[in-house]
Amino acid sequence: MGHYPILRVIIYKGKNATIDNFSFQIAPNREMQRLSDNTRQALGLTKVKVNNIQTKMNDMQTNWNGYNNVNYVLPNDAQVYIPVNKV
């Protein structure tokens, strides 16, 4: 029998969010950093600070906390992408 690599299950810890009446799970910045650090470590890469559009949108939230306030505000005129079924 051959040897098989050990697979690790990565648990994503999102917070509840409502955007335009749609429910989502949003990764807090701390969680994105944790996943990035774990992935980079597994690949033998150095850790870097996660800084992207998602972290910036999270930083812009003044009331959202993912628990008792789930209203997540998109910046400017951004909208939720809703795919349209092709006929």
Asked if the model's pLDDT at residue 7 lies above 60, the reply is no
pTM > 0.85: no
The more confident residue out of 83 and 14 is: 14
Looking at the predicted structure, is the pLDDT value of residue 55 above 80? Answer: yes
Beta-bridge mates of residue 15: 26
**DSSP, res 42:** H
Amino acid at 55: T
The Cβ-side half-sphere exposure at 74, using a 13 Å CA radius, reads: 11
pLDDT for residue 12? 73
pLDDT digits (tens, 9 = 90+) for 57-73: 999 999 999 999 999 99
Q: What share of the chain is helix, strand, coil (3-state, %, to 5)?
A: 25, 15, 60
pLDDT bin (cut points 50, 70, 90) of residue 33 is very high
